[in-house]
Amino acid sequence: MKKYSINRVEILGKIDKFGLSENDGCVTATMTVVTDMVTKTMEGRTIHNPIWHLVKAREDEGVSIVALNKGDTVHVEGWISPSRYITQDGLEKTGLEIRATSLKVVD
């Protein structure tokens, strides 16, 4: 029996936080993209459930990141990767991030 694995994600949302960094000549964008899950109650009331996604995109991977701005609506395709970070309290935490393979601004 063959074992398969798929690690693919696609989101459409607005850039909330955005920053660029350079390491060894490679420019990386780190951004938070907010998606909104909308549901309705039995009474018909609309409930918005925003979800913040950490997205990283590298310019050298064919993704154009230089024209991105906070507030842009973006369509992101990529894969999920574990990430480690240090909190302000000095604690090491583990989370998930989306590594973008395609990132396009949507009007």
- This prediction has a pTM of 0.83
Q: How confident is the prediction along the chain (107 residues), in pLDDT tens digits per residue?
A: 778 899 999 999 999 999 999 988 888 999 999 999 999 999 999 999 999 999 999 886 557 787 889 999 999 999 999 998 888 999 999 999 999 999 999 98
3-class secondary-structure state, position 59: helix
Q: Cα(45)–Cα(72) distance, rounded to whole angstroms?
A: 28
* Paired residues of 67 in beta bridges: none
